[in-house]
A and B are shown apart, each in its own frame.
Chain A
């Protein structure tokens, strides 16, 4: 029999599809078959964390349980929540109405490309919510749902518990990276829809712990990790010791100094998580250099010790509550302007939300770099400057003495973090700084960088441990591009300007491209910058021998 079949015919007889042909073809009918799979979801928020901020329905619950312990009137709460948001956000209303399902976004999502799960196509993720909107909020929906089969014609469905669980599952499989939005002919931004979706889920207490607990910590102690003020200082003291050992110079920072020129805020991940800690040491070295050479007065704050904002992944209100500390502290200390460290979503919040939410920042001055005289007109109102804008300006004016040879072991590429790339447009500044610190720099392929950059797969609060399979699957498109430049150019270091990236990409590398390391841009600056009065360095900030030192 085998002789009679060509391979193609033989192939036709093989059905490896996990889905049986009897299963419905319409995704609206497959809601019930959605399985909340271990490895793909994050644990539920702990009641204590939800209580700290006074958010609704704090209780212990488990996503894999049948009963999610929802309030009795959860459908009503969600219905009113959707209604309110349709009035408050034109984005939401338009994005609910205008999608033509052309499919341009479908294969742009790293989670779809990595998991192969069709419900991870951006359009479908949005349709989960849109199907409810069409059912309950449009004239056509209200009429058609009364007719038999009418809902199906419109692609509408009732807000059932199964539909809710499905939305929860998939809204926490989106990193709000906005890549799909770049390709959408109407600019429909799935991040915006996920933000609304998560905000709605929070109304009935359906957050994940990896978001809720950092938010609660940040609210109380000033940062996501819940580091108390003295411990925060202890950590920086350790860095100061390390730097002194490496360079012979004491780079001790100032805290809460009233009347300083600049308040510096960076994500707490830089203070506590490797390899962000090396980036943090880079900041300390830079500020010391500027203090010694030009008398620049920079202060840190333990109160506003978190640049990141997991509130952004909870609701607009929570985002505002956490973000308020930056301006409050700048006002209390009387600084001229604020400098922000390397972080992704932190910068989306600062760039597109902060001034609107917690401004006007009229108690500060338009940021001017006192060393170069450059006026940052692009930050004239918000009064906050990105550290790579600041450093690039210093380098351009020849104000930094950099010894590239200390980074000679690094063959670099640069991962554009989603938020600075697509929510800001910060593309050239970090590249300029990297190229000033390192000789060998190679870009990843054009459809994986800049505005088309692939997400690390762990953003928007999804960098937990329990969803490792999801994260690694989502990281595949990025890893694949990295592996390519690693094999082609010998790239061994992935530069980045995001604290979540520094943590998440390190894990990504470990699984997909073990030969590559992750480094923040200011780690490179810290290594290259020649401090006044420093001893001859033999180690880099990671306490590894500097290139060329071993041979001697």
Chain B
């Protein structure tokens, strides 16, 4: 199966990329789907790169952690956009339908399991990014003025380090 994926990588990538970009409104997808510029079109460029990395990774030996790392850039973006959690990671499942035309029938169950594994990694990463966002919300205002007030002796509560401790674990 890995050989098949490797062989059809470009084809898979192209289809998967378009399926992912088409989760955006049509008029935006027209812009985001442009291949040309990494800096004028970060969403498109980063999405493509992440998907490419995932497809490369799954043809080698990989773990959940590696998958999460490869998915991180694209999930990080989708975690701050107008998607509900399901829509944010739904693009992974598009791979099932796309794969059906390429993967041999004998391998298809195995391929589905692979996609499920990617989906689980995506879900993990999505939750991580959402946690990051909530933590930023909680700590930013503190970081802004807390230090100052702390020195002025006006507050004596959890320090930023205590709050951020959860992030490091």
Residues of A that sit less than 8 Å from B by CB: 2-3, 5-11, 13-19, 37, 39-40, 106-107, 112-118, 225, 231, 234-235, 238, 272-274, 277, 445, 447-448, 465-466, 468-470, 472-473, 476-477, 479-481, 484, 503, 506-507, 510-512
Contact = CB atoms under 8 A, between A and B. Distances in A.
Contact of B81 (A7, A17, A469): A469
Nearest to A241: B151
Given A17-B25, A37-B82, A118-B25, A274 B41 contact: no
Interface string B1-15: 000000010011011
Contact of A10 (B23, B38, B45, B97): B97
A440 to B, nearest CB: 21
B69 to A, nearest CB: 14
A16 B140 CA distance: 35
Given A6-B101, A16-B22, A480-B38, A277 B76 contact: no
Nearest to A470: B80
B32 interface: yes
Given A16-B91, A472-B133, A107 B80 contact: no
Nearest to A10: B101
Given A13-B97, A17-B23, A19-B25, 7 more contacts: A3-B101, A10-B15, A107-B41, A273-B148, A447-B39, A476-B77, A476-B80
Contact of A40 (B19, B23, B82, B94): B82
B105 to A, nearest CB: 8
B57 interface: no
A8 B15 contact: yes
B87 to A, nearest CB: 7
Nearest to B90: A16
16 contacts: A7-B14, A10-B15, A10-B98, A10-B100, A16-B22, A16-B94, A18-B25, A39-B133, A118-B28, A231-B152, A277-B148, A465-B137, A465-B140, A477-B39, A503-B140, A503-B144
B27 interface: yes
Contacts, number: 158
A11 B15 contact: yes
B81 A115 contact: yes
Interface in B14-54: 14-15, 18-20, 22-29, 31-32, 37-43, 45-46
B25 A472 contact: no
Contacts of B151: 238
Nearest to A7: B15
Q: Is the interface of B mostly helix, strand, loop or mixed?
A: helix
Contacts of A272: 144-145, 148
B147 interface: yes
A465 B148 contact: no
Given A113-B42, A116-B43, A480-B38, A16 B137 contact: no
Contacts of A448: 39
Contacts of A466: 137
Given A116-B25, A274-B144, A476 B43 contact: yes
A480 B66 CA distance: 21
Contact of B102 (A7, A116, A470, A477): A7
A115 B143 CA distance: 26
Nearest to A510: B136
A273 B144 contact: yes
A14 B22 CA distance: 9
A182 to B, nearest CB: 13
A532 to B, nearest CB: 28
Contacts of B25: 17-19, 116-118
A18 B40 contact: no
A481 B43 contact: no
A14 B100 CA distance: 13
B98 A512 contact: no
Interface string B71-111: 00000110111100001001100100110111001000000
B39 A481 contact: yes
Contacts of A511: 76, 132-133, 136
Contacts of A117: 25, 28, 82
Contacts of B102: 7
A463 to B, nearest CB: 9
B18 A11 contact: yes
B141 interface: yes
Question: What are the 6 closest A-B residue pairs judged by CB atoms, nearest first?
Answer: A480-B42, A2-B100, A116-B28, A472-B80, A273-B144, A116-B24
Given A7-B102, A447-B40, A511-B132, A16 B81 contact: no
B164 to A, nearest CB: 10
A17 B26 contact: yes
Contacts of A277: 147-148
A235 B147 CA distance: 11
Contacts of B97: 10, 13-14
A238 B25 CA distance: 52
